[in-house]
Amino acid sequence: MAENTMVRNGNAGARTEATRNARFFSPRVDIFENDHELLLFADLPGVSPQDVDLRYERGELILRGKVAATELPGQPVLEEYESGDFYRVFQIHETIDAAKIDAEFKNGVLTVHLPKQEAVKPKQVKVRTS
């Protein structure tokens, strides 16, 4: 429900994207919804927190940054780990309280909290008896 109503992925299904004469890869992202917020989890192994640029501008959540290449001993047999610049854009629905967006980075996972505005949160209605 969240992807269809409150967050729309700006490059769904794309593995790499050419932007401004450069190649970017798309980190894997999971989005979950509860009564109070959307939670976006971006898998960013090997990324330093200072190399993450997360912005909210004109209804878009923009995630970009850099994964430094690592020098490993020996010849690669299989390489699936991507290094270089990454970039993702998500369209954020107006029911998200942009002033309260918060993020934390721990163990290679970026967690973005996208709180819902009070008006759209479900609330319990008490039923009175007469």
How far is residue 71's CA from residue 77's CA, in Å, rounded to a whole number?
14
Q: Which regions of the chain are under pLDDT 50?
A: 1-5, 11-19
What pLDDT was estimated at residue 18?
45
What pLDDT was estimated at residue 10?
52
In sequence order, which residues have a C-beta less than 8 Å from that of residue 18 and are 6 or more positions away? 24
What pLDDT was estimated at residue 71?
81
What pLDDT was estimated at residue 17?
44
Q: What is the pLDDT of residues 57-70, one digit of tens each?
A: 988 999 999 888 77
pTM of the model: 0.73
Domains of the chain: 2-69+83-117 (2.60.40.790)
How far is residue 62's CA from residue 51's CA, in Å, rounded to a whole number?
14
Which residue type occupies 48? Answer: S
The answer to whether the beta carbons of residues 69 and 83 sit under 8 Å apart is yes
